[in-house]
Structure 1
Amino acid sequence: MRVTLLGTGCPQVSTRRYGPSSLLRWKERQFLVDCGSGVTQRLLGAGSAGKNIDALFLTHLHSDHIVDLFQLIISSWHQGRDRPQRIFGPPGTRQYLNGLMALWRSELEQRIAHEKRPSTRALELDITEVEPGIVLRDGDLTVIAVAVRHQPVKAAYGYVFTDGSQKVAFSGDTAFCPELILAAKDADALVHECFIHREMLALPGVRRPETIENVASYHTLSTEVGKVAAQARARCLILNHFVPVAFDAAALMAEVRADYAGPVLVGEDLMQFDTATRMVSHGDVMVALPPS
């Protein structure tokens, strides 16, 4: 399995860290987890495209995780996709997507009539609203949805991909979550969100101390995420979806290393990890992690 971090940011606008999204490649299959801002550009940067995605898994329906869904759909059509978009998400996904497509219906009808493209199959949606448990079987691959703790969001999931020999877990957005720890046991890679509390300061007119505490309450703190990885016995921890997007990476690493002795990657957009070879690549840099 190869994991590529497409966007490692959050709702804060950043030219370095785009919105949350990850790509998982398994054999000839390509799966997308979340669809944050800039996902279609990052897919091209990762050597892929929306037309190649076999399924999209939405962790929850917060705007930063779904904001570029229509862009993914229409750009995949422009790229020549010849099949519907297969989308898995929490309850409410169908209502959201039906509303999204209705919003753009007149524009789409005009494009379809005028552009005369060979197919409109890419504009069709195959939607599955999931509950905790197995949500997809594809040959040897199983995808499991794990209910995580992102209250007051009613339904939020992490996802675990496993083929029996390799395993990758994505946390989604969550506070410290024993259920996720159990599901991610012995994962070759745990891709986990990270809220860096010490970097979040109150700013008049932007956020109050109460705002910071409320947001922190449904995310995993940088002082907790190492404990998550240690308890899960993860073979590699990949930090992702940083709040805020700018932070002291050395201080973050020290916090995580206080609890977790395994390899830690402070994620960057377009960073890739291969679970089979344990190779990490980012741009022209390649690093081999020790055998697990």
Structure 2
Amino acid sequence: MRITLLGTGCPQVSTNRYGPASLLRWGERQFLIDCGSGVTQRLLGAGTAGKQIDVVLLTHLHSDHIIDLFQLIISSWHQGRDRPQRIYGPVGTRQYLKGLMALWKPELDQRIAHEKRSSTSALELDITEIEPGTIIRDGDLTVIAVAVRHQPVKAAFGYVFTDGRHKVAFSGDTAFCPELIQVAKDADAIVHECFIHREMLAMPGRSPETLANVASYHTLSTEVGKVATQAHARCLILNHFVPVVFDHAALLAEVRADYAGPVLVGEDLMAFDTTSRTVSHAGGVIALPLG
């Protein structure tokens, strides 16, 4: 399995950290987890394209995780995709996408009539609304949806991929979540969100109450190391940072106080290969211990 972090940011606008999205490659299969801002550009940066994605997995329906879903659909059509997009997500996904496509229907109808492309299959959506448990079996690969703690969002999921040899977990947005830890036991890597609360200061438009409410449904930087330790994870990949600018050394010190394994402070287009246990980013490659 190969993980590529496409976007490691949050709703804050950043030219370095795009909106939350990750890519998992398993053999020839490609799975896209979330569709944050800039995902189609980051896919190209990762050496692929929307037309090649086999499955889209939405963790939940917060705007920062789905804002570029239509961009993925329309750009995949432009790229020559010849099949519907397969999209898995929580209850509400079908209604959201029905409204989204209806909103753009006049423009799409005009494009279809005028551009006369060979197929409109890419504009069709194969939607599956999920419940906790196994949602995909593809050969040796199993994808498990885990209900996580993102209240007041009623349906939010993390995802665990396993093929009997390797296991990778994606937290989605969640407070500290024992249910995710249990399913992610002995993972080769946990890709986990990180709310750096000491960097989030009250200011006009961002009161202490607002900060407390936002922190309540995220995993704090002082907690995420405990997640990896309790899951016996072989590697912790930090992702979806709030805020997008922070003190890296201070963050690592917090996490390493609770977790002795390898910690990657994720960057957009950073990749991790579970077989070779190598980390690639910006032309460089680092090998982690195989043991």
Q: Distance in 1 between matches of 2:203 and 2:180?
A: 33
Q: Please name the residue that 1:269 is paired with.
A: 268
Pair 1:31-2:43 in alignment: no
**Could you tell me how far apart the structure 2 residues matched to 1:46 and 1:244 are?**
24
Deviation of 1:288 after TM superposition, in Å, equals 0.1
Count, aligned residues: 291
- Name 2:192's counterpart in structure 1: 192
Equivalent residue runs for 1:101-250 within 5 Å:
101-204=101-204, 206-250=205-249
Query: SS of the counterpart of 2:134?
Result: strand
Task: Find the counterpart in structure 1 of residue 281 from structure 2.
Answer: 282
How far apart, in 2, do the equivalents of 1:170 and 1:53 lie?
18
1:217 counterpart letter in structure 2: S
- SS state at 2:225 partner: helix
Q: CA RMSD in A?
A: 0.4
State the shift of 1:203 in Å: 1.2
TM-score in terms of structure 1 length: 0.99
How far apart are the structure 2 equivalents of 1:215 and 1:66?
A: 19
Deviation at 1:284, TM superposition (A): 1.2
CA distance in 2, matches of 1:183, 1:225: 16
Which residue type is aligned with residue 115 of structure 1? E
Helix, strand or coil: the match of 2:74?
helix
Alignment identity in percent?
Answer: 83
- The one-letter amino acid paired with 1:74 is I
CA offsets, 1:96-143, max 9 Å, x none? 000000000000000000000010000000000000000011111000
Query: Could you tell me how far 1:285 is from its partner in structure 2?
Result: 1.1
Shift of 1:291: 1.1
Per-residue CA shift, 1:67-94, capped at 9, x if unaligned? 0000000000000000000000000000
Q: TM-score, normalised by structure 2?
A: 1.00
Please list every run of 5 or more consecutive structure 1 residues that lacks an aligned counterpart in the other structure.
none
Report the residue type matching 2:106 in the other structure: S
- Partner SS state of residue 253, structure 2: helix
List per-residue Cα deviations over 1:142-168 (Å, max 9, x = no partner): 000000000000000000001010100
User: Which AA in structure 1 matches 2:247?
Assistant: D
Distance in 1 (alpha carbons) for counterparts of 2:203 and 2:7: 25
**Tell me, what secondary structure is at the counterpart of 1:153?**
coil
Query: In 1, distance between residues paired with 2:50 and 2:269?
Result: 16
* Secondary structure at the counterpart of residue 127 of structure 1: strand
- Code of the residue aligned with 1:259 in structure 2: it is D
